[in-house]
Structure 1
Amino acid sequence: MRENPLFTKRGFPAKKNNIKTNMKILLTNDDGYQSTGLMLLAKSLVEEGHEVYVVAPDGQRSAFSHSANIYKDITFKRLDEYCGAKSAYISSGTPADCVKFAASATDAKFDLLVSGPNNGENYGDCILYSGTVAAAEEGVLWGIPSVALSRVGFGGAFQSTVDYLTENVELLHELCPKNGLININVPDLPMSKIKGVKVVPQCESRLFDDYFEKKSDEVWFATGNRIDVEHKESDVGVVDDGYISVTPLTVLRTDCASIDALKKRLQK
């Protein structure tokens, strides 16, 4: 295995010196505050000496993407205790609402935002629908270095995902892009079975054949199947091969490569 700065030759996450420690870390997700992964991550980061803050939805908000409430009342209930966190709120709002509240209505100045760990993949075109990734994007808009974290697969253990983030949180903070975030997907495997880490682009192919099944005259069931696509050197491909995928994402949506062609045809 090629040596990677986020992984040691022994196959365990690597600690680095001379980078920021004891950070103020904001945690959120789209699975809700009762998510096992969120609770495990909060406890783990607190045990490492970080000051943890949690603002998370009061229930499931998967696939809410970057939806936010405007000119509406949203509840934010402060919890007496949550896994050793400095403070914790649960909200009737979306993941993006949670980040907006934490950044604008609390006194904390966060060093890092971690959204997740999500219960399920957030790679390929799933990124467009993800409340987990959108919460990290919202963090970027507020000037907070941000990471989106997901455990690929459902029903398994979060421990490998939590261990990887905890061991590398300082390094990830240092490497966060200025106008973007780091998107991480961890295979649902024990750490000893994970082959390593690969920094790769987002898969360009569509991953799911979405469709609706009619249940009655007015009710349809949204479903879909995974499409078998060629995706070896992408976030989808490396996770399928047993690696952790690390993908830098930008919140700037301009297709700069198309600017000149459009100017020639459309600009007057």
Structure 2
Amino acid sequence: MERTIDKLIVFAICLAGLALGGWGGTVPLSEGTAGAACVSTALVAVCAGALAEALPDRIRPAAPVLLCATALVSPCGAAFLPLACYDAMRELHRGGFGHAVAAAPGAALAASLALWSPSVAAAALTAASCAAGALLSARTNRLLARLDTLHRLRDDMTVRTWDLLDRNRDLEERLVRADGGGPGGAGDGSPADEEIPARPAGFSCLSDREFEVARLIAEGLDNREIAAAAYLSEGTVRNHISSILTKLQLKNRTQIAIAFWRG
């Protein structure tokens, strides 16, 4: 949601710069051929902005690169470089490749200045808009990183709490056995013993949390339902599933369910 609002703001800035004109000596929205070119460029910018949210992470940099290329094809494309700056700043965490993508809008702006010879006002406005888009993206990156950290801390505290509860239950069971097995204790055949689900032998290598996730998978729950039932984030659930598959040497969640019910 944060990125959607940011992109709407940046896109509005781009449209304002386009309406003011100054790139290539035209007022884009008031002339026929130039107006058609600018409308087409705006549509490309909308598609590129949407692709940046829909594409997988590994090919997401293609969206800002596409916008940078548009600026070299048409003078109207330079007005949308702030949007390219916003999306490019998201790639800084990739290291060398990310730095190259983040630098692409700056290089495209410099090339556009040489190609289209815009007015000083248009060039200054576009440069300022690019800086604003980059700063807005950096702010949102920090905000989302903090939220992700908080989610991870919440998940870690939940796991630790469950571990403490499991240890407490184990201690209570040992105390009951040490007292000779009273009512509801081990070995008296009471219903309380029957309510404790037995762990299949093949799942003994899993931690309690991993076994709980495996049990929910066997019951047919998807990741979101497991996350809600276990008070975990979907990312933590995916991590548990990956660990389960590795430990049990299985390929997918269907095999986890089959192995669970076979015992």
Bin of the TM-score, shorter chain as denominator length: under 0.3
TM-score of the superposed pair, with normalisation by structure 2: 0.27
Structure number with higher helix proportion: 2
Structure number with higher strand proportion: 1
TM-score of the superposed pair, with normalisation by structure 1: 0.26
Higher relative contact order at CA 8 Å, sep ≥6: structure 1 or structure 2?
1
